[in-house]
Amino acid sequence: MPHLPDVVLWSVPAFVVLTVVEMVSYRLHPDEDAAGYEAKDAATSVGMGLGSLVFDALWKIPIVAVYSAVYTVTPLSVPVLWWTLPLMLLAQDFFYYWSHRGHHVIRVLWACHVVHHSSRKFNFTTALRQPWTTWTVWPFYLPMIALGVHPAAVAFCSSANLVYQFWVHTERVGKLPRPFEYVLNTPSHHRVHHASQGGYLDRNFGGILIIWDRMFGSFVPETERPVYGLTKNIDTFNPLRVATHEYAAIARDVRAAQSWSERAGRVFRGPGWQPARPAGGKAAGKAEAPGKAEATGKAEATGKAPKNLEPAEERVA
């Protein structure tokens, strides 16, 4: 078993320092256009993060069992060396992109990930607002295990990806030089991902790299100022409700469904899916809205562009 450091644990002091610095920066240099901080919202985000540590430890037991079983039967083995580790990080980032994208377009997966998008603020504490039901994530990394990557190495790469994403949750950093913006996930790209405007919904899924979004047609540059949160916000700071509200909404929709195909659609189609209804029925037509629309409401919110944004880039698909 490879001995790799716990990068999340080692990064906690940096998380604390950066959060304090960001809070102080808003005190010293307020920005009336930025979402900034709110005490209750920040406390909820920190609480969700602490809760995720407990629940992740529970989910880890069956996940490690499955990963270990697959790793035992695969004939392949990738050693952890100085030159294989970057390749593992690249592979993990690729599969993270598809996991992240899947968690936006399949409603039962969105019920897990919606937690991270439920804050109307965008700051370093938002990065800590993590779900408590991450048992939906593990299947996306099975190909790495089957290819001979040790489960501990996959866990290390996932932790490194998570740590990297902490710093992109801020409005205090504008656009970086173009080469960085083209290759890496940056605060500018991630602000788009957290926005609730229709043109920004379900875009920029990358973890460390933004090249996957450029390759697979999900990239959108930041042009107008994002409006954060869900398209229909839940108006609660109760961690239990934040963690479970979309599961409860799915259960209500399944109970009210009129057929088995509709029940399946309510669970496995997009969050914005509505069944076709005859004229005069409760639902008229079928809407396959991306990610956060319809099931969580829809708002075509707009905002003023940040002061430090560059002119709009051409969209790369």
Render pLDDT for 95-115 as a digit per residue (tens, 0 to 9): 999 999 999 999 999 999 999
Is it the case that residue 74 has pLDDT exceeding 50?
yes
Q: How many domains does the chain have?
A: 1
Paired with 195 in beta bridges are 228
Is it the case that residue 286 has pLDDT exceeding 70?
no
Does residue 209 fall inside a structural domain? no
Does residue 23 fall inside a structural domain? yes
Under 8 Å between Cβ of 134 and 112? yes
Distance (Å, rounded) from C-alpha 299 to C-alpha 292? 10
Q: Could you tell me the two tokens for 125?
A: 């504490």
Is it the case that residue 317 has pLDDT exceeding 60?
no
Distance (Å, rounded) from C-alpha 68 to C-alpha 65? 5
| pLDDT for 283 | 52
Does residue 26 fall inside a structural domain? yes
Between 6 and 145, name the one with better pLDDT: 145
Does residue 22 fall inside a structural domain? yes
Does residue 120 fall inside a structural domain? yes
Is it the case that residue 6 has pLDDT exceeding 60?
yes
Does residue 203 fall inside a structural domain? no
Q: How confident is the model at residue 204 (pLDDT cuts 50, 70, 90)?
A: very high
Under 8 Å between Cβ of 225 and 304? yes
Distance (Å, rounded) from C-alpha 299 to C-alpha 203? 16
Is it the case that residue 73 has pLDDT exceeding 60?
yes
> What would the mean pLDDT of 2-30 be, rounded to a whole number?
93
pTM for this structure? 0.87
- Between 47-51, 187-191, 270-274, the lowest mean confidence (pLDDT) is in 270-274
pLDDT digit string (tens) for 223-247?
999 999 999 999 999 999 999 999 9
178 to each of 182, 188, 246, how far by Cα in Å?
6, 12, 38
Give Cβ neighbours of residue 248 (< 8 Å, ≥ 6 apart).
none
Residue 274 neighbours by CB distance under 10 Å: 21
Does residue 57 fall inside a structural domain? yes
DSSP codes, 192-213: HHTB-SGGGTT----SSBSHHH
Is it the case that residue 16 has pLDDT exceeding 50?
yes
Grouping H, G, I as helix, E, B as strand and the rest as coil, residue 77 is: coil
Q: Could you tell me the two tokens for 17?
A: 């320092």
Q: Which residue segment(s) compose the domain that 146 sits in?
A: 7-172
Under 8 Å between Cβ of 155 and 3? no
Q: Could you tell me the two tokens for 195?
A: 């926005």
Between 311 and 83, name the one with better pLDDT: 83
Is it the case that residue 277 has pLDDT exceeding 80?
no
Does residue 293 fall inside a structural domain? no
| pLDDT for 1 | 72
